Protein backbone atom coordinates (compact mmCIF):
# COMPACT_ATOMS: atom_id res chain seq x y z
CA UNK A 1 0.00 0.00 0.00
CA UNK A 2 1.77 3.10 -1.27
CA UNK A 3 0.95 6.45 0.32
CA UNK A 4 1.85 9.86 -1.14
CA UNK A 5 3.52 12.46 1.06
CA UNK A 6 1.87 15.43 -0.57
CA UNK A 7 0.52 17.27 2.48
CA UNK A 8 1.81 18.13 5.93
CA UNK A 9 -0.80 15.85 7.46
CA UNK A 10 0.46 12.79 5.57
CA UNK A 11 4.01 13.57 6.78
CA UNK A 12 2.77 13.81 10.37
CA UNK A 13 0.96 10.49 9.94
CA UNK A 14 4.19 8.90 8.65
CA UNK A 15 6.03 10.19 11.72
CA UNK A 16 3.36 8.82 14.02
CA UNK A 17 3.47 5.43 12.25
CA UNK A 18 7.25 5.26 12.73
CA UNK A 19 7.00 6.30 16.39
CA UNK A 20 4.17 3.83 17.05
CA UNK A 21 5.83 0.87 15.33
CA UNK A 22 9.16 1.61 17.03
CA UNK A 23 7.43 1.80 20.40
CA UNK A 24 5.61 -1.50 19.81
CA UNK A 25 8.93 -3.10 18.85
CA UNK A 26 10.47 -1.72 22.05
CA UNK A 27 7.62 -3.12 24.15
CA UNK A 28 8.04 -6.53 22.49
CA UNK A 29 11.78 -6.46 23.22
CA UNK A 30 11.12 -5.54 26.85
CA UNK A 31 8.62 -8.36 27.28
CA UNK A 32 11.07 -10.90 25.86
CA UNK A 33 13.94 -9.96 28.19
CA UNK A 34 14.93 -12.65 30.64
CA UNK A 35 15.55 -11.42 34.18
CA UNK A 36 16.90 -13.21 37.20
CA UNK A 37 14.16 -12.89 39.80
CA UNK A 38 14.73 -14.88 42.99
CA UNK A 39 15.97 -18.40 42.16
CA UNK A 40 14.42 -18.63 38.68
CA UNK A 41 14.65 -16.78 35.41
CA UNK A 42 11.49 -15.00 34.36
CA UNK A 43 10.48 -13.76 30.96
CA UNK A 44 7.59 -11.56 29.92
CA UNK A 45 7.61 -9.01 32.69
CA UNK A 46 7.62 -5.24 32.51
CA UNK A 47 10.34 -3.62 34.61
CA UNK A 48 8.99 -0.69 36.57
CA UNK A 49 10.98 2.56 36.82
CA UNK A 50 12.96 2.95 40.04
CA UNK A 51 15.68 5.04 41.65
CA UNK A 52 18.98 3.14 41.52
CA UNK A 53 21.14 5.57 43.45
CA UNK A 54 20.89 9.11 44.71
CA UNK A 55 21.64 10.59 41.29
CA UNK A 56 20.46 7.78 39.00
CA UNK A 57 17.02 6.71 37.89
CA UNK A 58 16.31 3.47 36.00
CA UNK A 59 13.58 4.02 33.39
CA UNK A 60 12.69 0.34 33.45
CA UNK A 61 10.61 -0.84 30.50
CA UNK A 62 10.23 2.70 29.19
CA UNK A 63 13.92 2.68 28.23
CA UNK A 64 13.22 -0.07 25.67
CA UNK A 65 10.29 1.93 24.29
CA UNK A 66 12.42 5.08 23.90
CA UNK A 67 15.25 3.13 22.26
CA UNK A 68 12.73 1.49 19.93
CA UNK A 69 11.43 4.90 18.81
CA UNK A 70 14.95 6.25 18.22
CA UNK A 71 15.99 3.13 16.30
CA UNK A 72 12.87 3.30 14.11
CA UNK A 73 13.61 6.94 13.25
CA UNK A 74 17.24 6.09 12.42
CA UNK A 75 16.06 3.19 10.25
CA UNK A 76 13.89 5.58 8.23
CA UNK A 77 16.99 7.57 7.33
CA UNK A 78 19.33 4.63 6.76
CA UNK A 79 17.07 2.52 4.59
CA UNK A 80 15.67 5.37 2.49
CA UNK A 81 12.06 4.21 2.77
CA UNK A 82 10.63 7.40 1.29
CA UNK A 83 11.03 7.41 -2.50
CA UNK A 84 10.70 10.24 -5.00
CA UNK A 85 8.43 9.40 -7.93
CA UNK A 86 7.67 11.30 -11.13
CA UNK A 87 3.97 11.72 -11.78
CA UNK A 88 2.26 13.21 -14.85
CA UNK A 89 -0.17 16.02 -14.13
CA UNK A 90 -2.95 16.68 -16.61
CA UNK A 91 -2.18 19.68 -18.75
CA UNK A 92 -4.21 22.86 -18.59
CA UNK A 93 -6.76 23.22 -21.42
CA UNK A 94 -4.48 25.72 -23.16
CA UNK A 95 -1.37 23.53 -22.83
CA UNK A 96 -0.77 20.63 -25.19
CA UNK A 97 1.90 18.77 -23.22
CA UNK A 98 1.31 17.30 -19.76
CA UNK A 99 3.70 18.35 -17.02
CA UNK A 100 5.40 16.06 -14.55
CA UNK A 101 5.93 16.66 -10.86
CA UNK A 102 8.06 14.87 -8.30
CA UNK A 103 6.29 13.57 -5.22
CA UNK A 104 7.47 11.53 -2.27
CA UNK A 105 5.74 8.31 -1.31
CA UNK A 106 6.28 5.33 0.96
CA UNK A 107 5.11 1.75 1.22
CA UNK A 108 3.14 1.53 4.47
CA UNK A 109 3.85 -2.15 5.19
CA UNK A 110 7.57 -1.78 4.52
CA UNK A 111 7.79 1.22 6.87
CA UNK A 112 5.89 -0.63 9.60
CA UNK A 113 8.02 -3.77 9.21
CA UNK A 114 11.34 -1.91 9.27
CA UNK A 115 10.28 0.25 12.24
CA UNK A 116 9.09 -2.82 14.19
CA UNK A 117 12.31 -4.75 13.59
CA UNK A 118 14.47 -1.72 14.39
CA UNK A 119 12.45 -1.06 17.56
CA UNK A 120 12.67 -4.69 18.63
CA UNK A 121 16.44 -4.89 18.16
CA UNK A 122 17.15 -1.26 19.11
CA UNK A 123 20.40 -1.58 21.11
CA UNK A 124 22.08 -3.83 18.55
CA UNK A 125 20.64 -1.86 15.62
CA UNK A 126 21.89 1.48 16.98
CA UNK A 127 25.35 0.03 17.74
CA UNK A 128 25.58 -1.32 14.18
CA UNK A 129 24.44 2.03 12.73
CA UNK A 130 27.09 3.78 14.82
CA UNK A 131 29.83 1.43 13.57
CA UNK A 132 28.67 1.94 9.99
CA UNK A 133 28.78 5.73 10.37
CA UNK A 134 32.26 5.65 11.94
CA UNK A 135 33.52 3.42 9.11
CA UNK A 136 32.07 5.82 6.54
CA UNK A 137 33.75 8.83 8.17
CA UNK A 138 37.07 6.95 8.37
CA UNK A 139 36.82 6.02 4.70
CA UNK A 140 36.15 9.63 3.72
CA UNK A 141 39.08 10.80 5.83
CA UNK A 142 41.37 8.24 4.17
CA UNK A 143 40.19 9.27 0.68
CA UNK A 144 40.90 12.92 1.52
CA UNK A 145 44.40 12.01 2.70
CA UNK A 146 45.08 10.02 -0.48
CA UNK A 147 43.97 13.00 -2.59
CA UNK A 148 46.17 15.35 -0.57
CA UNK A 149 49.13 12.97 -0.92
CA UNK A 150 48.61 12.81 -4.67
CA UNK A 151 48.58 16.62 -4.89
CA UNK A 152 51.77 16.86 -2.80
CA UNK A 153 53.45 14.17 -4.91
CA UNK A 154 52.50 15.89 -8.14
CA UNK A 155 53.65 19.29 -6.85
CA UNK A 156 56.92 17.74 -5.63
CA UNK A 157 57.57 16.11 -8.99
CA UNK A 158 56.92 19.43 -10.75
CA UNK A 159 59.24 21.27 -8.35
CA UNK A 160 61.96 18.62 -8.80
CA UNK A 161 61.83 18.96 -12.58
CA UNK A 162 62.31 22.73 -12.39
CA UNK A 163 64.86 22.75 -9.53
CA UNK A 164 68.62 22.77 -9.94
CA UNK A 165 70.35 19.41 -9.36
CA UNK A 166 71.83 20.39 -5.97
CA UNK A 167 68.32 21.25 -4.55
CA UNK A 168 66.63 17.99 -5.63
CA UNK A 169 67.64 15.88 -2.56
CA UNK A 170 66.33 18.59 -0.20
CA UNK A 171 63.04 18.79 -2.12
CA UNK A 172 62.66 15.00 -2.03
CA UNK A 173 63.26 14.97 1.75
CA UNK A 174 60.76 17.79 2.26
CA UNK A 175 58.16 15.98 0.15
CA UNK A 176 58.71 12.76 2.15
CA UNK A 177 58.14 14.68 5.41
CA UNK A 178 54.86 16.16 4.13
CA UNK A 179 53.61 12.76 2.94
CA UNK A 180 54.64 11.18 6.26
CA UNK A 181 52.74 13.92 8.15
CA UNK A 182 49.62 13.34 6.03
CA UNK A 183 49.79 9.59 6.59
CA UNK A 184 50.33 10.03 10.33
CA UNK A 185 47.26 12.26 10.64
CA UNK A 186 45.07 9.84 8.66
CA UNK A 187 46.01 6.51 10.24
CA UNK A 188 44.46 5.45 13.54
CA UNK A 189 46.65 6.22 16.50
CA UNK A 190 49.06 8.19 14.33
CA UNK A 191 50.95 5.03 13.38
CA UNK A 192 52.71 4.88 10.06
CA UNK A 193 53.58 1.48 8.61
CA UNK A 194 57.27 0.97 7.90
- What is the band of 63 on the pLDDT scale with cuts at 50, 70, 90? confident
Domain boundaries in the chain?
A: 2-120, 134-190
Name the more confident of 83 and 54.
83
pLDDT of amino acid 192: 47
Examine the pLDDT at 167 and tell me if it is beyond 90: no
Cβ atoms of 23 and 120 closer than 8 Å = no
- What is the band of 116 on the pLDDT scale with cuts at 50, 70, 90? very high
Answer yes or no: pTM beyond 0.85: no
Name the more confident of 112 and 157.
112
Amino acid sequence: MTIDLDTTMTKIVLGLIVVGAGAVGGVAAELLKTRKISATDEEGGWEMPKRVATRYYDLGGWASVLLGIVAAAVAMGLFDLVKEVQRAVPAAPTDQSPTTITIEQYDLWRVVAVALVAGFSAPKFLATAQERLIALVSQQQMETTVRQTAVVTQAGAEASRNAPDEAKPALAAQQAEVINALATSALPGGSVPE
